[in-house]
A and B are shown apart, each in its own frame.
Chain A
Amino acid sequence: MTERFDILVVGAGPAGAAAAACAAESGRSVGLVDDNPSAGGQIWRSGGHLPEQAQTWLARLQGSTVTRLQGWRVVDCPAPQVLRAEKTGGTERDGYCADFGYKTLILATGARERFLPFPGWTLPNVMGAGGLDAMVRGGLPVAGKRIVVAGTGPLLLAVAAHLAERGAQIAAVCEQAGMARLVRFATRMMSEPGKLWQGAGYSMRMGPGRLKMGCWPVAARGDDRLRVVTLRQGAKQRDVECDYLGCGFHLVPNTEMPAMLGCQLADGFVVTDAMMRTTVTQVYCAGEPTGIGGVDLSLLEGQIAGFAAAGHVAQAQELARRRQTRLGFVRALEQVCALDPQLRKLAAEETIVCRCEDVRFGALRHRANWREAKLHTRCGMGPCQGRICGAATEFLFGWGADSVRPPVFPARVSSLANLPGGSADADTRFVAAGALSEHSKETA
């Protein structure tokens, strides 16, 4: 099955939702493809209170003519101006795989958390900070549970406040950045007092004295799941009993799809002009993949891309001027979240770095680069295709990423071959760029 749109938007977070709504309101036929059960992305995830801004935009999207393709994951680009997607969780033989054609593409693929390996980080109930929040919004009850939130970035306080609202006991929020850096950041943010008050409000909600600066987890212990986290702050170290650890070190952009399509990247981010056009003709990019700037900047970029792609240049230019004044926030955020070099010492020899293939730090630290590590250890060759360990090894060893080849996510053989319906056997097989663990060790 192939559907064609004037404008196809990938990702239904703030940038994608705004882009799709603006393009559709400009009279274009618009498709919005997203791999989650509902629109909103990670920041406006359903299952709990949504800010007014989110409600407004999601209502605007709902009231538009946008064809919402929710629960579809883009895996391939089988032909120019065509993306192929699989239905998430689909068990039907028919209609499982679909092609979406477009004249213009807007990529709003968002960001993921950066995870750093430390002893015990692979234990069940050690999750990302946003990962834990997503689980809670997905129905995991945390009332009465003791939780440590750790890592770096504004997400930590937002997550801790939300978990506290749900009745969790926040044992500590550990921010790796030192107090001096936070003060500098706050000074720069005086021009945006809204963001400062938001942060202060979060701190109040989780209880006094819970925020530890220059602090991070050095170990997690437990039997079949997490029981104790060891936190270090300066020279001090202490054990904290807890049920969950939500730990994420700021965000890294999801650039696999732009890279697959040939868009130029610089310093890990997608290069665009003021109209959010990438270096590939008729491909726009908006939101976190162009620079981690949060929801307000993502909304602006989405609107610019949506209007520009629909040919409403005057509206796009007006918004582009407003965007320019906000780009300073991207740099300020990057500076405050810059990782402390001491975090490179968290992993021990036997600490797993690549969770898909269970490749340990000791097997990696003498490797010259990412490619050599992949070839010799299978690091980054599992189903996540290096999305988790790639961001870690970039920080740990300074390794850069490889080129991206389709499929951009593990996909079924039948989807890639476009076998009509696909046989039952082919349907349950995966192929990844590098094969899914089938040839790797069964046991250590």
Chain B
Amino acid sequence: MPETVRSIVLTINGAVATVAPGTTVAAAVAMAAAATRTSASGEPRGPLCGMGICFECRVTIDGVPHQRSCQILCAPGQRVTTAESGARGRR
């Protein structure tokens, strides 16, 4: 897919990601091949329901933890961190 001039640049675990407008944070994280969180027993997890019900897609966005990434659109300059980036954002 050719990138349009209106593409959005954000960071996921510190790495720059470029996505099309209308992309959810959950989709952007999946494209960056990152799990969204680590479960209580240490399993990597990704989105399940895609509609804000299951809480598996929760990530830290601009320092605010537990954000359901499937219901939030990517925005320019957004800083997204997942459980994979370290202790922060775990659970």
Where the two chains meet, the residues of A that have a C-beta atom closer than 8 Å to any C-beta of B are 35-37, 42, 46-47, 71, 73, 88-89, 91, 112-113, 115, 122, 124-128, 130-136, 138-141, 224-225, 254, 352, 355-358, 382-384, 387-388, 410, 427-428, 430, 436-437, 440-444
Bound Cα distance from A427 to B63, whole angstroms: 11
Q: How far is the CA of A428 from the CA of B22 in the complex (A)?
A: 26
The answer to whether B54 has its CB under 8 Å from any CB of chain A is yes
Contact assessment for B47 and A131 in the assembled complex, using a CB-CB cutoff below 8 Å: yes
Asked if B52 contacts A127 (CB within 8 A), the reply is no
Taking a contact as CB atoms under 8 Å apart, the answer to whether A139 and B48 are in contact is no
A122 touches B27 (CB 8 A): no
Determine the chain A residues whose CB is within 8 A of the CB of B65 once the complex forms.
428
How many whole Å from B57's CB to the nearest CB in chain A?
Answer: 9
Taking A37-B73, A358-B41 as contacts, is the C-beta distance between A91 and B62 under 8 angstroms?
yes
* 0/1 string, B41-73, CB within 8 A of A gives 1: 111111111111111101001111111101111
Residues of A within 8 A of B51 (CB): 36, 42, 112, 130-131, 134
Please provide the 7 A-B residue pairs with the shortest distance between their CB atoms, ordered closest to farther.
A134-B50, A139-B23, A124-B46, A138-B24, A131-B50, A444-B41, A89-B72
Query: Which residues of B lie under 8 Å from residue A37 when comparing CB positions?
Result: 24, 71-73
Nearest opposing residue in chain B for A254, CB measure: B53
- For A139, what are the chain B residues with a Cβ–Cβ distance below 8 Å? 19-20, 22-24, 27-28, 31
Q: Would you give the shortest CB distance from B75 to chain A, in whole angstroms? A: 9
Query: Beyond A124-B45, A358-B39, is A135–B71 a contact (Cβ under 8 Å)?
Result: no
A124→B41 CA distance, assembly (Å): 15
Cα–Cα, bound, A37→B74 (Å): 11
A-B contact pairs, 13 of them (CB 8 A): A37-B73, A46-B22, A127-B46, A127-B47, A132-B50, A133-B50, A138-B27, A139-B22, A356-B40, A384-B55, A427-B64, A440-B40, A441-B41
Contacts of B91 in A (CB 8 A): 437
Q: Output the residue of B23, B28, B68 with the most chain A CB within 10 A.
A: B68
B10 close to chain A: CB less than 8 A: no
Interface residues on B, range: 35 or more
Partner of A141, one of B1, B53, B66, B67: B1
Complex partner residue of A127 from B24, B40, B41, B50, CB under 8 angstroms: B50
Residues of A near B73 (CB, < 8 A) are 37
The residue from B27, B39, B72 contacting A135, defined by CB atoms under 8 A apart: B27
Task: Name the prevailing secondary structure of the B interface residues.
Answer: loop
Q: How far is the CB of A432 from chain B (nearest CB, A)?
A: 10
Give which listed residue, B28, B30, B35, B67, contacts A89 with CB less than 8 A. B67
Q: Can you add 17 more A-B contacts, CB < 8 Å, to A37-B73, A139-B22, A355-B56?
A: A35-B71, A36-B52, A73-B52, A89-B72, A115-B49, A124-B35, A131-B48, A131-B49, A225-B46, A355-B54, A356-B55, A384-B54, A387-B53, A388-B54, A427-B64, A441-B40, A444-B41
- Residues on B with beta carbons closer than 8 Å to the beta carbon of A387: 53-54
Closest CB in chain A relative to B77 CB, distance in Å: 12
Q: Are A383 and B66 in contact (CB under 8 A)?
A: yes
Q: Is A138 in contact with B70, judged by CB distance below 8 angstroms?
A: yes
B22 interface neighbour in A47, A91, A130, A356, Cβ under 8 Å:
A47
- A42-B63 Cα distance, complex, nearest whole Å: 28
Inter-subunit contact B27/A128 (CB<8 Å): no
B39→A355 contact, CB < 8 A: yes
CB contact between B46 and one of A125, A130, A134, A357 (< 8 Å): that residue: A125
Closest to B64 in A: A91
B12 within 8 A of A: no
When distances are taken between beta carbons in the complex, the residues of chain B under 8 Å from A442 are 40
Docked-complex contact A135 and B1, CB < 8 angstroms: no
Contact B41 A430 (CB under 8 A): no
Q: How far is the CB of A71 from chain B (nearest CB, A)?
A: 8
A residues within 8 A CB of B54?
A: 355, 384, 387-388
B30/A135 in contact, CB under 8 A: yes
Chain A residues in 8 Å Cβ range of B49: 112-113, 115, 127-128, 130-131, 134, 388
